[in-house]
Amino acid sequence: MNVTVEEDKCVAAGQCVVAAPEVFDQRDEDGVVILLQEQPPAAEFEHVRTAAAICPAAAIRLAESLHP
């Protein structure tokens, strides 16, 4: 899985951090998303999918490999 974020779309809701704190954080000054891991471990995949699904700005993009 490869994760990207569109910082310019982020509304600083923080839902991604709640769903996947090992993969996402927020900037202190404005709350905009910080991507901690572009290629998270498999143990985080479900959390990252949840974060992408609940992001109110649809600022998280996932590219999942067809091969493990």
What residue segments make up the domains of the chain, in order of their start? 2-63
Q: Which tokens belong to 23?
A: 């993969």
Kindly tell me if the per-residue pLDDT of 54 is higher than 80: yes
Mean pLDDT of 35-46: 97
The model's pTM? 0.92
Can you give the pLDDT at residue 65?
78
- Write down the residue that tokens 């901690």 correspond to: 36
Q: Which tokens belong to 44?
A: 């985080």
Overall size of the chain counted in residues? 68
Q: How confident is the model at residue 68 (pLDDT cuts 50, 70, 90)?
A: low
Sign of CA dihedral 9, 44, 64, 23: positive
What percent of the chain shows pLDDT beyond 90? 93
For the structural domain made of 2-63, what CATH number should be given? Answer: 3.30.70.20
